[in-house]
Structures are given as structure tokens and as C-alpha cells.
Chain A
Amino acid sequence: MSHPKTAHVVDARYLEPPEPFVQTMEMLDTLKPGERMLLLLFREPHPLYKVLRQNGYTYETELVADGTYEILIWR
């Protein structure tokens, strides 16, 4: 799946926890330097934010009209 913001997308909107977390971690491992990934969810993942901060990642969240949180993550 691709998205205007990046080609690396985890669409976790209809996945049951902990799948969104697991798939995000897996994709972060595959990113090359300078690449960004996008996580799509119907909630703000505060526990994930904490893990990202601890591991030196930066993120930017946008809530779009249909209720999807688009979380762009990079290092």
C-alpha cells in the first residue's frame, strides 16, 4: 500500500492489538536511512509514542476527516 506521504505504510485500522505495534516495529527495522514510514490508526497510540521517543525516532500525527490518525515516523 502506498500513500502520498510515503511508500512505506502500515494500515492498522482494522487490526487487533498488538498487531499495529508489532507491524510498526517490523517496518521500522526495514527502513533505510532517510526513509519515513506511515502508520494509520483510529486512535492516538501514546504507548507507541513513548517507545519511539526512547529509540530516537521522531513522529508527526495528523487526524484526517474520516477519523484516521496518520502517524509519520522517521529517524
Chain B
Amino acid sequence: MQALLSFDKAPPFAAPLRFFLTAPLFALAAGLLLLALGPDMFASRWMPGLLAATHLITVGFMLQVMLGALIQILPVVTGANLGNPLAVSRWLHVGLSAGALLLAAGFLLGQPPLLSAAALTLGLSIAAFLGATGRALSGVPSTSPTIRGLKFALFGLAGAVALGVLLALALARGWAVPLPLLTDLHAGWALGGWAGILLAAMAYVVVPMFQLTPGYPARPSWWFPRVMLGLVLAWTLAVLVESPLALRLVQGLSALAGIAFALLTLRLQMQRRRARTDATHRYWQLGLGSAIFALFLPLTAAAWPPLADLPGWSLSFGILLLVGGFMSFIVGMLYKIVPFLAWLHMQNCSSGQAPAPNMNRILPEADMQRQVRVHALAVALLLAAAVWPEWLARPAGAALALASGWLFYNLLGAVSRYRRHIKENNPA
């Protein structure tokens, strides 16, 4: 942990913290939206409420934490330094938060000006972030699969955002584009090309470190980012040449690549040397199990396309991959990063006075374990609601809101213990 996060060039606590504390509120909003709109939201994947909730989770929650965490650990995993991390995090945080809200409101209310404003806000802030990280990484050789993966992931983010901006503007202005094809492609770039590659690049470092597992074998580690990026590029080509068969093939292969990575990670976790099953480990188990089930859906649909038309099919895929998979990996990592950063900054500020409290007192394990259970319940209820929306959509929304609100409460608890300690030890 210390090697991962404490570095003399590491940014101040405020830089990543703003992202970590805001993100759960967007997931909470997604849960509340489902609670308010109920079963109608699950009528099809194109329902405005569902599009709004999906982007509250992907942009408001996932992207917030991913970019906030990247600002923190970029120097440690690559040796590269962002020019002014605090300034970058300030405007990026505003851009992402405003963009996610505008996008969700634009979908929900069907307001073209809101969608255009969202496209502009998100497009510009993420482009500026990519510029800043691109500058920091230029000249950094890809000496490890993590560095190469990170570079590929940032390219994937650029593709995902470009397609997202195109889709939002097409919706706002009524451009004639093949919306379903481009939406799938946007999701492929966002979840495979960006989030999937980023997750792998970070997992190479954090899984052995957090859970004391063996390392990821070198060959598949080098290959996974290459294969995944190659597949989303091939996917794009298949859309451009309008080949349904090629499309099925690349979608099936993308799912297969994701399953292979998840199975490899599960195997490493079975060989871990840490006996204690902490909240992070539980979150990763939930995440890997959900991701494997999620990716089996497009894999089987690639083999037999009528399956994808079954009621609840694409909804189940989204729930399993986003709420069961990515959200679980992300919260699992937050539960290591936030208490550690709080402890580290307390330690740095204590200078000879009261020492920083034990990390388990900053964010008690029992609090995290209880929240994991509610998150798992939310995933189960959401899945059941995909099949029986009439009965379960609202309880599932309530469970997601509760899990996300609890996450916020847990993180806020850690931050207030940090602030109290700083205040007591620096009365001036």
C-alpha cells in the first residue's frame, strides 16, 4: 500500500478525495431514480430513465473514481508526474459531475440542449484530462504490462468518449445514424477498451499487493491489453463495413477475452497467502463472479443471436457487468485506498504529536463488511427485477440506493475521523 500510494510526488488528499466522495452520490441517484420510476424503467434498454441511470453509474460513479484514482497513483505505477494534480482534479471533478448530471437529465427529460451541453462538458473535460496524462506519459517507456495497459486504456477512453459525444449530439440534433449499432460500439469501447483494460493494468499491481496472491504471468499480461484494444478496433471496422457475422465474432471474442482475464484472476486469488477474508476480497469475488456470468451472455448470444431478444437479457448483462462487476471492483479498491490515504496524511501531519490511529479504526472492517452484503443484495434484486420488474424494480432501486448511501457514509466516516485528528493535533 505504502509503495503504491505514498510517494513524495503524491498529490494532496483533497485531489482524489473529491472524486471518491462524490461518486457514491451518483450511484445513490441511480437507485433513487429506479425507486421513483419503478418497473417502467426496465421495459427496454432504450427507456430514458434506464439510459439516465446507466450513465449516472458509468460516468457519475465509475469514471469519477477511475480518473480520481489515476491522478493519485499515476506517479507510483508509471513514474510519470502530472503537471499540477490539484488543479487538474479541481476542473475535472467539476466537468465530470456537471457532465454526468446534464447527461442524465438530458436522457430523462428528452431535452436536446441538455444532451448537447453534456456532450460538450464531458468531451472537453475528458479531452483536457487525456491531454494532461498524455503529456505526463509521453517519453515514459512501456517497461511493464501496467504502463502499456494504461496507455492503451487511455486510448480506449478517447474512443469511448468520441463515440459518446457523437451519440449524444446525434440524439440532440436528430442526425440519421444507426443508433443501436453505435450504442453497442460505444459500450464496447467504454467497457472493453477503457474500463476493462484499465482494470487489468491496475489489477496486475493491486491484486498481488492487496491480497498477497502470486503475480500475473508475464505473457498474458502483455497480451490482454493488446487483444482487447485490437478487438474493439475490429468491432469498429465490422460496424463500418456492415458485416453482421464479423460483428458477432468480435463481440464473442471480446467476451471470451474478459472471461479469460477474470478466470486467471480467480485462480490467483485461490493461491493467496492472506488468510483473512476482508471486504476488498469479498468485493473482488463478487465482481469476478458477476463479470464471468455477465460475459457469458454476449458469448452465448454471439453463438445464437435470438437469445439476445429474450426479455431481460441485455438488462441482465448490464446489471451483472456494471453493478455486480465494475462497481464491486471499484468499491473494493476504495476500501483500501481511502483509509490508507487518510492514515498517511494523518501520519504526515502528526509530527511528534499523537500518532495516526490504526487503519482499522479509520474505517472499521465491520462497517465495510455490512455494506458489501447490501451491495450484493442490490445486485441480486436488480437481476431478479430484470425478470420480474413489476414486483421487484422498486425494492431493487431502494437496495442500490441503500448500498450507495452506506458507501458514502462509510467513506465520510473515514474522512471525518481524519479531519478530527488533524484539527486536534494542529489547533492553530
Interchain CB contact (< 8 A) of A67 among B75, B209, B217: B217
Are B217 and A47 neighbours in the complex by a CB distance under 8 Å?
no
A17-B209, A47-B76 known; A42-B214 Cβ under 8 A? yes
Determine if A44 is an interface residue (Cβ-Cβ < 8 Å): yes
CB-defined contacts of B2 to chain A, threshold 8 Å: 17-18, 21
Is the Cβ of A43 less than 8 Å from the Cβ of B78?
Answer: no
Stretch at the interface among A1-9, A27-35, A58-66: A58-66
Contact: A50 with B209, CB < 8 Å? no
Q: Does B205 contact A (CB under 8 A)?
A: yes
> Which residues of B sit under 8 angstroms from A67, Cβ to Cβ?
204, 208, 214-218, 221
Tell yes or no: B360 within 8 A of A by CB.
no
**Residues in A neighbouring B78, C-beta threshold 8 A:** 46
Nearest chain A CB to B344 CB, angstrom units: 11
Give every chain A residue within 8 A of B208 (Cβ-Cβ).
13, 42-43, 67
A70 to B380, CA, bound (A): 44
Residues of A within 8 A of B76 (CB): 46-47
Complex contacts, A45 vs chain B, CB 8 Å: 3
Bound-complex Cα distance A58 to B326 (A): 39
Q: Is A68 an interface residue (CB 8 A)?
A: yes
Residues from chain B with a CB closer than 8 A to the CB of A74 are none
Q: Tell me whether A65 and B144 are in contact in the complex, defined as CB-CB below 8 angstroms, given that A43-B209, A46-B76, A46-B79 are known contacts.
A: no
Q: How far is the CB of B163 from chain A (nearest CB, A)?
A: 32
The number of chain B residues touching the other chain, given as a range, is: 20 to 34
The dominant DSSP class at the B interface is helix
Query: How distant is the Cα of A35 from the Cα of B76 in the complex, in angstroms?
Result: 28
Within 8 A of A (CB), among B298-332: none
Q: Are A43 and B205 in contact (CB under 8 A)?
A: yes
B238 CB-CB contact with A under 8 Å: no
**Do B143 and A44 touch (CB < 8 A)?**
yes
Binding site for B on A (CB under 8 A): 13-14, 16-18, 20-21, 42-50, 61, 63-69
Q: Can you pick out 19 interface pairs between chain A and chain B where the beta carbons lie within 8 Å of each other?
A: A13-B214, A14-B212, A14-B273, A16-B1, A17-B209, A42-B208, A43-B146, A45-B3, A46-B78, A46-B79, A47-B6, A47-B8, A47-B76, A48-B3, A61-B143, A65-B217, A65-B219, A66-B217, A68-B215
Given contacts A46-B75, A47-B7, 20 further A-B contacts (CB under 8 A): A13-B208, A14-B212, A16-B1, A17-B1, A18-B3, A21-B3, A42-B209, A42-B214, A42-B216, A43-B77, A43-B209, A44-B77, A44-B143, A46-B79, A47-B3, A47-B8, A63-B218, A66-B215, A67-B216, A68-B215
Which B residues are closer than 8 A to A by beta carbons?
Answer: 1-4, 6-8, 75-79, 143-146, 204-205, 208-209, 212, 214-219, 221, 273
